[in-house]
Amino acid sequence: MIRNLIFDFDGTLADTTRGIILCTQATLREMGLPVAADERIQATIGLPLRRCFELGTDTPEERLDEAVVTYRRLFDDIAVPCVTLFEGVPQTLQILRDRCLRLAIATSRSGASLEMLLRVLGIGEHFCELAATEAVEHPKPAPDLTLLLMERLGARPEETIVIGDTIFDLQMGQAAGCRVCGVTFGNQTRAELAAVRPDWIIDRFPQLLEIVQ
């Protein structure tokens, strides 16, 4: 019986893609670096921020920390106004809570950023546990965030589904022994998600209700 749902945030609960791309590109402009294409940046969403700049841009190694600091300074003004919830998220979360499921978030963004966005979007009350990237030594796709949340929840893998929009999320859940559900409305395609053989793939957030009866 499923008792616990662990969600990714970016691309799963909230559409943050445009804001992340714009903020990344603004960071590069301010630093006088080549501006990366939208597609290259989007392909790294879901990884820790420093890793996103490392893989998704031409930022030199010695300036990666500067890029992270600059991005975080610009984020509130550039990215936050672009963030919206995907269709059906608030209503579905409420129904899941009414069914007595425990909901948690495992994210590659910082805890402060996650908590701020949850307040802005008005959905923080639905989650009993949050785990951000700084809480663990090994980020996604390592299982550490999922294992930490299961420890806090007193949860077993067979009672837990991890939901995310990237293979990094799905691999994290699989490595922790959980079943996993990919969503196609985020940052990676159905074909990309299918390559890691998730238990489910859904095209709309409310379809979770069909999985968790």
Report the share of the chain in percent with pLDDT over 70: 100
List the catalytic residue out of 10, 15, 144, 165.
10
The total number of structural domains in the chain stands at 2
Clarify whether residues 102 and 172 are in a common domain: yes
pTM of the predicted model, to two decimals? 0.93
Q: What is the arithmetic mean of pLDDT over 171-195?
A: 98
Question: According to DSSP H, which parts of the chain are helical?
Answer: 17-30, 38-42, 49-56, 64-78, 89-98, 111-121, 144-153, 167-175, 190-194, 208-211
| Distance separating alpha carbons of residues 187 and 15, to the nearest angstrom | 9
- Domain of residue 119, CATH code: 3.40.50.1000
Model confidence pLDDT, tens digit, residues 28-87: 999 999 999 999 999 999 999 999 999 999 999 999 999 999 999 999 999 999 999 999
The reply to whether 10 belongs to the active site is yes
Tell me whether strands 179-183 and 200-202 are parallel, antiparallel or unpaired: parallel
Residue 213: the pLDDT is 79
Whether residues 103 and 186 share a domain: the answer is yes
Q: Are 20 and 40 in contact (CB under 8 A)?
A: no
> Can you give the residue range of the structural domain that contains 32?
17-82
| Domain boundary, last residue among 59, 82, 105 | 82
